[in-house]
């Protein structure tokens, strides 16, 4: 029995199991009624008779002509030939034809339905093939229609392990929690809970549904999990954030194929443990495991997070040296890595060199240009994207609005915001509203920014108020700053950034009572400012520096260099702005506190290596 966030399923009692159809998060189409599975009471052995329904049968030469490139006209010609020869009178050959049409090209699913309707005695293989095809289509809920046809067939078919394996995949695709639990219950009643393929499918499904507890329950009931089940569990735990258990399981695996390695590396990268991801990748190479596109996408993601440009360059060279195919996904990851590491020339070189691009590729390039201060170039590229006929998405507009922000194009930014719904049918999300607040705020239009927040059709989020608070500090507007800070704390009581920014606004105006009140409030509410962190890459090795942390093996040399930097700055006439620093310490101590900022510590280390 599976419990937890996805609900349980009952393995006892009656045999009527209803599957809700189309239970997507968006609540799209729902088929009325339920499909009664009255045949679950039949003997378990009977269900096993159909286990080979997807056995490998040599295809007829004419059917083998159907492939992913077959046009509808060619398909009709092949169909006519099969009909003329009387081959489709054979249930197995007609089933092969339907399955081949459906699986080889999703665009021909409608035609495969028409052919199936002409079959007098469809086989279980045929129905399973349709379930399989629809489980990977844009309308996966239709898989359940063919499941109902299995249950209602004149030949009294029983669903087999393939049926349930594909239905489990459908539930994962639909993100349908209740339906997933019902399918789990149905397959248990049919006796397929110990089938290795079904078990790994269930683990995958519950991971997609973010039900880690259910993944553990399924895995815990497997007596001797095979490589596929172990890999599925590693992947499930890694993607759901339980990387500790995932790594334990990974290290205990007697055999580890590239999929298991990729799952573990991707898990580290996705949960922010980028250094662990890169270390595991190096271990993967040392053990001679084949590296593929999936591995490199995760490695590039880790490099992006760390800002590790040298390692990112090495990864790019590795891709070229080993002649890995530059897919859209891999190329987009490369662009993102170079952009986040600050090398936009290289990012755009990769972009222009890609033969195939999708909306995510364009959005990554746009985001990189905006992030690195090339706002006008970002808008030029967006114009070209429109001319190329690439339809933008929500992420695209975040990049475009940020591009307008960095060059202060308030009116143009507002026009792009309005065009989202009018021209592209994209409903603005909270992040887009936050971008407009930031656009107004950075341009000094604080009243307009506040009016825009108040006119939002949904409750303003902390990001919007945070952008206003930051602008209030830039333009020393204490009244709006206090309001923004209060709103942020109402939404996120432990948001230390709101307190710190408000404290700095008071400090800039030398209102020390205000500073003191903020600090006392933080102390009373148990809010602590997280220490600043800076990351530096030297010769492919990543070094991390935290404020006040003296654990680096070369800290004594770093401290000496910091002293030398401060001495030379003073000689050059530099005077530090000590207003934001604690007001109740001496001026010399304030300067010393600023000198040991994490970024300055990282710079000092860079100078001594």
Closest residue by Cα to residue 535 from 605, 469, 449: 605
Which tokens belong to 443? 């341009």
Contact 510, 579 (CB under 8 A): yes
Rg (CA), the chain: 30
Residue 299 DSSP one-character state: H
Could you give the 3-state DSSP secondary structure of residue 74? Answer: helix
Could you give the 3-state DSSP secondary structure of residue 535? Answer: strand
| Maximum separation of any 2 CA atoms in the chain, in Å | 98
pLDDT for residue 514: 65
Whole-number Å distance between alpha carbons of 609 and 384? 44
Which tokens belong to 364? 């990554």
Q: Is the pTM of this model over 0.75?
A: no
Which tokens belong to 463? 């990001």
The segments of the chain whose pLDDT lies below 50 read 1-18, 20-58, 581-591, 593
Whole-number Å distance between alpha carbons of 283 and 285? 5
Residue 391 DSSP one-character state: P
Helices and strands (H, E) in the chain, number of each type: 31, 2
pLDDT for residue 21: 43
Residue with tokens 């990769």: 350
Could you give the 3-state DSSP secondary structure of residue 536? Answer: strand
Question: 32: buried, middle or exposed (CB in 10 Å: 19+, 13-18, 0-12)?
Answer: exposed
Length of the chain: 609
Angle at which helices 478-491 and 446-454 cross, to 10°:
30
Angle at which helices 243-252 and 227-239 cross, to 10°:
160
Long-range contacts of 5-10 (CB under 8 A, 24+ apart): 5/177, 5/210, 5/211, 5/213, 5/214, 6/177, 6/178, 6/180, 6/181, 6/206, 6/209, 6/211, 6/214, 7/177, 7/178, 7/181, 8/181, 9/181, 9/182, 9/184, 9/185, 9/188, 10/185
pLDDT for residue 148: 93
């Amino acid at each position: 029995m599976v419990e937890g966030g996805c609900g349980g399923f009952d393995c006892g009692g009656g045999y009527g199991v209803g599957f809700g159809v189309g239970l997507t998060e968006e609540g799209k189409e729902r088929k009325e009624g339920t499909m009664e599975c009255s045949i679950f009471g039949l003997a378990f052995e009977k269900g096993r008779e159909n286990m080979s329904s997807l056995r490998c049968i040599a295809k007829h030469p004419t059917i083998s002509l159907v492939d992913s490139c077959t046009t509808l006209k060619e398909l009709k010609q092949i169909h006519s030939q099969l009909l003329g020869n009387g081959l489709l009178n054979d249930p197995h050959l007609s089933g092969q034809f339907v399955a081949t049409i459906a699986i080889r090209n999703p665009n021909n699913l409608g035609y495969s339905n028409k052919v199936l309707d002409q079959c007098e005695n469809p086989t279980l293989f045929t129905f399973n093939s349709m379930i399989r095809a629809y489980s990977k289509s844009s309308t996966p809920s239709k898989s359940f229609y063919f499941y109902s046809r299995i249950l209602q067939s004149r030949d009294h078919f029983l669903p087999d392990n393939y049926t349930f394996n594909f239905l489990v995949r459908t539930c994962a695709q639909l993100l349908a929690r209740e339906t997933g639990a019902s399918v789990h219950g149905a397959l248990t009643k049919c006796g397929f809970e110990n089938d290795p393929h079904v078990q790994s499918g269930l683990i995958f499904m519950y991971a997609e549904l973010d039900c880690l507890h259910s993944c553990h329950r399924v895995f815990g009931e497997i007596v001797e999990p095979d490589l596929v089940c172990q890999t599925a569990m590693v992947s499930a735990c890694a993607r759901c954030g339980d990387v500790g258990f995932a790594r334990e399981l990974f290290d205990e695996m007697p055999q580890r194929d590239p999929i298991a390695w990729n799952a573990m590396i991707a898990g580290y990268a996705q949960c922010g443990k980028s250094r662990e991801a890169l270390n595991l990748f190096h271990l993967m190479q040392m053990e001679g495991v084949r590296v593929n596109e999936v591995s490199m996408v995760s490695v590039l993601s880790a490099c992006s997070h760390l800002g590790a440009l040298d390692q990112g360059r090495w990864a790019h060279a590795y891709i070229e040296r080993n002649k890995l195919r530059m897919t859209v996904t891999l190329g987009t990851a490369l662009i993102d890595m170079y952009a986040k590491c600050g090398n936009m020339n290289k990012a755009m070189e990769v972009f222009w060199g890609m033969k195939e691009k999708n909306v995510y590729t364009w959005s990554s390039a746009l985001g990189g240009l905006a992030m690195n201060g090339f706002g006008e170039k970002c808008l030029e590229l967006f114009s070209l994207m429109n001319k190329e006929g690439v339809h933008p998405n929500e992420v695209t507009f975040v990049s475009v609005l940020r591009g307008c922000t960095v060059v202060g194009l308030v009116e143009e930014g507002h026009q792009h915001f309005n065009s989202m719904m009018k021209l592209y049918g994209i409903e603005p999300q909270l992040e887009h509203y936050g971008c407009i607040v930031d656009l107004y705020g950075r341009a000094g239009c604080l009243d307009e920014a506040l009016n825009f927040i108040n006119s939002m059709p949904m409750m303003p989020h902390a990001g919007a108020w945070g952008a206003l608070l930051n602008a209030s500090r830039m333009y020393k507007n204490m009244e709006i700053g206090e309001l923004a800070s209060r709103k942020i704390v109402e939404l996120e009581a432990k948001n230390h950034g709101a307190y710190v920014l408000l404290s700095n606004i008071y400090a800039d105006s030398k209102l020390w009572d205000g500073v003191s009140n903020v600090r006392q409030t933080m102390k009373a509410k148990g809010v602590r400012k997280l220490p600043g962190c800076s990351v530096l890459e030297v010769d492919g090795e990543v070094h991390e520096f935290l404020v006040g942390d003296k654990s680096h093996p070369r800290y004594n040399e770093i401290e000496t260099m910091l002293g030398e930097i401060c001495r030379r700055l003073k000689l050059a006439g530099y005077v530090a702005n000590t207003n934001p620093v604690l007001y109740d310490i001496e001026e010399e101590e304030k300067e010393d506190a600023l000198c040991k900022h994490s970024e300055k510590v990282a710079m000092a280390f860079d100078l001594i290596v």
